[in-house]
Amino acid sequence: MKCRFCGNTVNDIFLDLGMSPLANSNLSSSELNNVESFYPLCSYFCQQCHLVQLDEFEHPENIFSNYAYFSSFSDIWNNHIESFVNSVISRFNISQEKQIIEIASNDGYLLKHFKKKNYSVLGIEPAENIAKDAESIGIPTLNKFFGIPIAEELSSSGKKADVLIAFNVLPHVPNLNDFIQGLKILLNPEGLLIVQFSAYLMDLIEQNEFDMIYHEHFSYFSLHTLQKIFSEYGLCIFDVEKLSVHGGSLRLFIKHKNNDDFEITSSINKLLDAEKQFGLLDSSIYKKFPEQISSTKQNIWKFFISAKQDNKKIVCYGAPAKGNTLLNFCGIGKDFIDYTVDKNPHKQNLFLPGTHIPIYSPEKILSTKPDYLLILPWNLKDEIMEQMNFIRDWNGKFVVLIPKVEIID
């Protein structure tokens, strides 16, 4: 395959997770007996630009046109976003006549915080069902995939962005070059581009986050690689923040190269140095990752086998994409897990892809009183443990499997 950024021939495997269904393709009861599509879930790394990437086995339209992830169902994430909006307005002194545009705006969870402060906002969201939810709360939303054509269309109509935001979308982009060029076109000459994404490569490797690899994530980035990508199209990363949210994220502040309004901060070189020290510029760290994950998988098996030998009842909390990667790769199904629960009503009464584990509302747990509650969205474990604290009434325990198996009384 060819690297989706630099075009170099890519043959080196980063991690092969076998065959897996699309991670958010939950099934209805009527679909359970249908033939289910599985695709290779194999990631590669480019020796030239160090981009970790999947080959494209399914068109993005078939993944994102009707989507099950609604950002507003996490309280921690919503608090994180409100804090972000307030800090950006304050730090960059963003006046109210500025145009705020967000790409992959989901259900309007972020833009609503700008809108209530009387900013002009526009969302661009490819999933029709989610775009409708955003419109229903008053967030103007274009139901389109972002790239050069939509950027040129908006730009020619005078709708360029003073503040352009792309949260948790960059890894989902199969055509990186088209996407980054689109950002450059849509951003005003003095504008501010803010990009945030999870599955940051250094954290993914260090914390064993193999479950962050799924078909919706086409690419996995280091700051070194992102510097090359944005620079190629006349954009400059002038500040970076390393965040703990979603298990390790980067927030990038970006400008046009010829814009002198924003000074490059020392945080750039600090993180570049940290990546170099960690070994992200050396191919050996990429080649060692499969062995590291094999050991993690064995420890996960040991937990399940031991629990079942002791006749323990195990249920899960959550139906996230990462959970489906983990369960399918480890071969953990209904023989070990009775069911899972999720706050998102769009997922309830469906079944997880591949494993066919049923999804219920969280109230189900009160009636079955499991011994273990396995938290699949481990990045939200504190929020979930607080919400589900009542399982301790019958000596129930919480379990997380990433970065290592941990049983929490």
Give me the chain's average pLDDT, please: 95
Provide mean pLDDT across the span 256-271.
Answer: 97
- Share above pLDDT 70 across residues of the chain, in percent, rounded to a whole number: 96
How far is Cα 189 from Cα 181, in angstroms, rounded to an integer? 14
The structure tokens listed for 353 are 């892809």
- For the chain, the domains span 62-281, 284-408
Q: What is the pLDDT of residue 374?
A: 99
pLDDT tier at 63, thresholds 50, 70, 90 = low
pTM above 0.85, yes or no: yes
pLDDT (tens digit per residue) in 71-120: 555 677 788 899 999 999 999 999 999 999 999 999 999 999 999 999 99
> What is the model's pLDDT at position 148?
98
- Same CATH topology for 62-281 and 284-408: the answer is yes
- Predicted pLDDT at 79: 83
Minimum mean pLDDT among 60-64, 236-240, 389-393: which range? 60-64
Architecture of domain 284-408: 3-Layer(aba) Sandwich (3.40)
pLDDT in tens, 186-209: 999 999 999 999 999 999 999 999
Instruction: Give the pLDDT score at 361.
Output: 98
pLDDT at 245: 84
CATH of domain 62-281: 3.40.50.150
Cα 148–chain centre separation: 23
Question: What are the tens digits of pLDDT across the range 304-360?
Answer: 999 999 999 999 999 999 999 999 999 999 999 999 999 999 999 999 999 999 999
- Per-residue model confidence (pLDDT) at position 66: 53
Nearest by Cα to 48 from 80, 4, 86, 18: 4
Task: Place 229 in a pLDDT band, splitting at 50, 70 and 90.
Answer: very high
